[in-house]
Structure 1
Amino acid sequence: MHSFPGSDPGRFLVRSNRPLLLLLLFITLLLIGMPDAFAHAVAEGDKGYIQEITGVNLIAFMYLGAKHMVTGYDHLLFLLGVIFFLYRMKHIAIYVSLFAVGHSLTMLLGVYFNIGINSYIIDAIIGLSVVYKALDNLGAYQRWFGFQPNTKAATLIFGLFHGFGLSSKIIEYDISPDGLVPNLLAFNIGVEVGQLIALAMILIAMSFWRKTDGFFRHAYTANVAMMGAGFLLIGYQLTGYFIA
């Protein structure tokens, strides 16, 4: 049994969990104050640029793809959940590659074949992916159902949904067919570059946190916070679907 310093263990618990509480508060305010951020929307300036340009613009679309991934809070939450308990780079590479394959496949094919899905529904599913992974990290499925779902398959499947989320938005922006394929490929390369940048930042932060004595003590709280953010995403998107 752990003993707490001082005479007020409750105050110690609050203080030791303060970074996680601040993170959850930040995510909550972000989701409430920036609805476009979790609807896979592109910034207004970028949206206008996408709609106006024609021809092959590889550098511009690579930049837009990287920017989307680095600022895509739902993507980052899911990636955080995926790598939360992964320590070996080989395992991290496998899961991130599965997510990238799924994300790239549906994003490219969805835009090319004009397959759109209601953005509110797809983003609610993406919120569900965050909840799913947080519960997985908490060992909920083994306790509830007595077995562990295939985490690799789940990562690939949710990657497919994440890609459809982006393709649905790109279709709405009516990109010029002139140079569409190379521009989409460049955008996807940018997405993967952005994913690597975001993943590197997450891994750096996680590596420092894992070296502290409080990592396992606070891992439960962190995943509950992640699950709460996922439910908030789901609720916001379903509300938007029914009132839009």
Structure 2
Amino acid sequence: MHLLNRSGHAPCWRSLLLLPALLLLCLATGAEQASAHNVTAGDAGYIQEIWGVNLIPFAYLGAKHMVTGYDHILFLFGVVFFLYRMKHVAIYVSLFALGHSTTMLAGVYFGWNVNAYVVDAIIGFSVVYKALDNLGAYQRWFGFQPNTKIATLIFGYFHGLGLATKILDYKIADEGLLPNLLAFNVGVELGQILALAVILIVMGFWRRHRHFMRHAYTANVVMMSMGFMLIGYQLTGLALAS
């Protein structure tokens, strides 16, 4: 399902007033670090100091990353926005998890050296892409609908690669590397389930509101704006680092 302002009314201006506040919140969240994939100083120190197999700590770090990764949350929010059946939610989330897991594990294990700013800019673009998809922009502008399942899988690859670029910044001990990475990935997926559960509960109540479709337009515009902001952060960081 896609949204083309089907309510027949202009978006709720009271809701639109929330846009500047939400953008400022995103700005404040990212002011200290331009990327949602950054590992905190404490976690980074811990990763660098331990060696051997540490399944529970790495699983915890993976879950923590997921529930605090606002780029992941925004993209997941967009993916499930118009999914009403749990079967469809499971399919899309599984595709995202498959892509995310594949490149995160392979990127760290094989030491892929990819520019983090470019990858995170693409991740920001994934949020913009999904918001425009929910708004029905592609059908309106180009007359066709891109395959949403393939897009979810491909952007999942980039989300996982974005995390891999940050983990590689910290020298993880080779001893126990693969089990630790698998534990980290399990934690990421558990965190994703937790975040998804919260999103679906909130969406369930929100969809009962009689003005849901009108507010849905505003919500996707806000999400798209946040995606553009994430892109801007990364391109600015890339320019300054050059």
Shared fold, TM over 0.5: yes
In the other structure, the counterpart of 2:127 is: 130
Native 8 Å contact 1:116 1:164 kept in 2: no
Q: Please provide the CA RMSD for this pair.
A: 1.9
- 2:67 maps to amino acid: V
In the other structure, the counterpart of 1:82 is: 79
Out of 92, 102, 106, the position equivalent to 2:103 is 106
In the other structure, the counterpart of 2:92 is: 95
Out of 133, 150, 155, the position equivalent to 1:153 is 150
Q: Distance in 2 between matches of 1:197 and 1:16?
A: 27
Q: Judging changes above 3 Å, is the alpha-carbon distance between structure 1 residues 25 and 218 closer, same or farther for their aligned structure 2 residues? A: farther
Out of 212, 218, 222, the position equivalent to 1:221 is 218
Native 8 Å contact 2:35 2:234 kept in 1: no
CA offset at residue 171 of structure 1? 1.0
In the other structure, the counterpart of 1:203 is: 200
Tell me the matched-pair count.
234
- Percent of matched pairs sharing the same residue: 68
Q: Distance in 2 between matches of 1:29 and 1:155?
A: 28
Q: What are the within-5 Å matches in structure 2 for residues 7-22 of structure 1?
A: 13-17=12-16, 22=21
Native 8 Å contact 1:101 1:159 kept in 2: yes
Residues 1:181 and 2:178 aligned together: yes
Q: Distance in 1 between matches of 2:169 and 2:205?
A: 41
Higher RCO structure, 1 or 2 (CA under 8 Å, sep 6+):
2
Q: Judging changes above 3 Å, is the alpha-carbon distance between structure 1 residues 87 and 19 closer, same or farther for their aligned structure 2 residues? A: farther
CA offset at residue 162 of structure 1? 0.4
1:35 aligned counterpart, secondary structure: coil
Residues 1:72 and 2:69 aligned together: yes
CA offset at residue 24 of structure 1? 4.2
CA offset at residue 148 of structure 1? 0.3
- 1:231 maps to amino acid: F
Native 8 Å contact 1:127 1:234 kept in 2: yes
Native 8 Å contact 2:103 2:161 kept in 1: yes
In the other structure, the counterpart of 1:165 is: 162
1:189 aligned counterpart, secondary structure: helix
CA offset at residue 104 of structure 1? 0.1
Q: Judging changes above 3 Å, is the alpha-carbon distance between structure 1 residues 57 and 28 closer, same or farther for their aligned structure 2 residues? A: same
In the other structure, the counterpart of 2:33 is: 35
Q: Distance in 2 between matches of 1:143 and 1:128?
A: 19
1:201 aligned counterpart, secondary structure: helix
- 1:55 maps to amino acid: G
Q: Judging changes above 3 Å, is the alpha-carbon distance between structure 1 residues 163 and 13 closer, same or farther for their aligned structure 2 residues? A: closer
Q: Distance in 2 between matches of 1:210 and 1:147?
A: 27
- 2:136 maps to amino acid: G
Give unmatched runs, 5+ long, in structure 1: 5-9
- 2:210 maps to amino acid: D
